[in-house]
Structure 1
Amino acid sequence: MDDVVTDAPPPSRFSPDDLDNFAAPLPQPTPILVVSPNPSPAPRLLVVLISPTSLALLPSPPPPLHASLLLPDLPLNAIPAHRTRAAARSLISGLQPEEVLVLDAVRSGAYRGRLSADELVEGKLETGAARRRGGVGAAKGVAALAPPGSVMDGLGAAVMTECEIRGKAASMVVTWPAAARPSDFGVMRRVAAELGVDLKAAARVSGRAGLGALYT
């Protein structure tokens, strides 16, 4: 009769790769918000530029940065989906802005590819606090995005979620096509006026991947 205590156990039916699926994920390093040596008070309005069209508003050379958001586990490229929530939390909790304006681009896939390449789209999503105020900054003259649905993701959506949780007034204005000129959209013209940017110098962009930029 076999000794069930001392006999070698049968080989596992799982491969080592399968067993790794049951291991606890490694903790992700916390994003680091580095504020300038002489920080100003909490900004009244934080503008987050994400879309190529909005990034074209940046003057050359750009003004001095008020703060930098560092993710130690990532190289200098776009923030992946699994890190956007942590980045948004660090950004909003660290700067504590009164209002937030996010400028992002609609993804054609969110509308099942039914957006025309020649059709200009400009719409906004807002937190409850922003709706009660009638909008945020340059977004006040923008109509609600229709249909709203779950058409946005990435860092912009994570910033909006964080602002909703914290009860902050935040508006996200999205545009299409992604490579349109800033002058094609009313919100971009108003933001350019507030930043003192000459729209004639903001040329059409080609959908380049951007890090995003933060200005107060």
Structure 2
Amino acid sequence: MEDVLTELPPPSRFFLEDLNNFTPPAPSLPSPFVLLSNPISKTPLRPSLLIIAISQPSLYLLHYLSSKTLIGTLVLPEISPSGNSIEPSPKDKSCNLYAINHSTESIIVANFQYSVSSERTHLIAKTLIGQQIIPDRVLIFDSVQPRNFRGRISTDDTFAMKLETAKERKGAPLLKNLTYFPSGSVIEGLGAALLSRCQVMNIRGTLCVAWPELGGSVISMLKALLMKDVLPGMELHIDANGEGEGSSLGSRNHYLDSDLYT
């Protein structure tokens, strides 16, 4: 006599992928877009340098750059502006765009103050670079993730490394004194998507990754890097408690699963 409790069940008449036919597809999200403060301004914007801040220390530093003017924002429809302050704040969930006049250069700064899911990174990169903004050069600030780094990283270490597009390597590098990110290590998320976009568009692009993710030591290092190689002569007005505030900024995680860039 059959044991109905221990006998293997008969095979399903459906394959797993067939079962999805009965589930309505999730509605697609609206595309991100750039909203400029002055829509009559000549577009596309063609700055000599586009600086993109993703890491917490770089967001903190670039927020305090002097002589910057708010010119727009990159809108991600799934990110609610609820709770944002009237005046730009490092604690807002936003990606504000600022114009900086530095010497004879035109510079735009984009501060990514929210997390980005993996499936949105490439669309965001395409929206920011090559549509309404076509820069001559791009500099991206991101952080190292220990799980993707070939070798051990101590919490006492402080360092910055770089990745570059092929066109950037052919000329004089923007970040002259940084070593390259070691072979076998990987970069993921929005930073990787932005650098890939630069490579596809044949733009001179540099991705600077730093460790640790937070703290006064990395803020000081990035400040020296900015003042020496990127924005010499520019002022950064940070109060006496600046490094302490910067070291405690944010607990959000930018590094969601995404395509890898080596």
TM beyond 0.5: yes
1:106 and 1:151 in contact (8 A); partners too: no
Map of 1:49 onto structure 2: 53
Q: Any stretches of 5+ residues in structure 2 without a counterpart?
A: 1-11, 81-92, 94-113, 255-262
Q: How many residues align?
A: 198
Q: Which has the higher strand share?
A: 2
Q: Higher RCO, 1 or 2 (CA under 8 Å, sep at least 6)?
A: 1
Mean CA deviation greater in 188-197 or 103-112: 188-197
1:45 and 1:98 in contact (8 A); partners too: yes
Q: Any stretches of 5+ residues in structure 1 without a counterpart?
A: 1-10, 212-216
2:129 and 2:135 in contact (8 A); partners too: yes
Pair 1:174-2:209 in alignment: yes
**Partners of 2:183 and 2:34 in 1: how far apart?**
31
1:100 is paired with a residue of what secondary structure? strand
CA gap of 1:188–1:18, structure 2 versus 1, over 3 A, is farther
Give how far 1:123 is off: 0.5
Map of 2:258 onto structure 1: none
Give how far 1:88 is off: 0.5
Map of 1:19 onto structure 2: 20
1:192 and 1:199 in contact (8 A); partners too: no
2:36 and 2:72 in contact (8 A); partners too: yes
1:82 is paired with a residue of what secondary structure? helix
CA gap of 1:140–1:60, structure 2 versus 1, over 3 A, is closer
Mean CA deviation greater in 43-52 or 184-193: 184-193
2:124 paired residue among 73, 84, 87? 87
1:52 and 1:210 in contact (8 A); partners too: no
| Structure-1-length-normalised TM-score | 0.77
Map of 2:156 onto structure 1: 118
Q: Which has the higher helix share?
A: 1
2:196 is paired with a residue of what secondary structure? helix
2:157 is paired with a residue of what secondary structure? coil
1:95 is paired with a residue of what secondary structure? coil
